[in-house]
Amino acid sequence: MSTITQSIDVDVPVTTAYNQWTQFESFPQFMEGVEEIRQLDATHNHWVVKVGGATREFDATVTEQHPDERIAWKSDSGPNHAGVVTFHKLSDNTSRVTAQMDIDPEGFLEKVGDKFGVVEGRVKGDLQRFKAFIESRGSETGTWRGDVPR
């Protein structure tokens, strides 16, 4: 299992960054390889992703969520992974978004890609695209302010 940690500073208030991250169905607009996410209920999502030319589907559960602070999840099926995204107020209009993920790649190509830093590069790229996405909009596409205790 690999652990990946990446951070990026975004020029929006922490509430805006957090609110956008709760809009899972918008992830394909800035996450490479994410084809679709369907929100099944307040804590369950179904993902369709492309990795190394292969399409994978899996379900994930939000295991902890606190407005403007953190969102944690784990996979319920498919590739074994879990993670947390945290949000830190740097100033009234600047926030730090940090993603930490534990990933257990499936299949030969995914394991090789992980060893050569492809997965870490993808997470870094996703955060850079999130920054461009939210800064160009200036506001979130929606919000979910519910609290999911650990």
Tell me the domain boundaries of the chain. 2-23+62-137
> E strands within 40-145?
44-51, 54-66, 70-75, 80-91, 94-104
Q: Measure the CA–CA gap between 31 and 25, rounded to whole angstroms.
A: 11
Decide the pairing of beta strands 94-104 and 44-51: unpaired
What would the pLDDT profile of 4-13 be if each residue is shown by its tens digit? 999 999 999 9
Q: Measure the CA–CA gap between 143 and 48, rounded to whole angstroms.
A: 22
Taking the model in full, what pTM does it have? 0.88
Is the pLDDT score of 48 beyond 90?
yes
What would the pLDDT profile of 76-131 be if each residue is shown by its tens digit? 987 788 999 999 999 999 999 999 998 876 655 555 555 545 677 888 999 999 99
| 68 three-class SS | coil
- Structural fold of domain 2-23+62-137: Alpha-D-Glucose-1,6-Bisphosphate; Chain A, domain 4 (3.30.530)
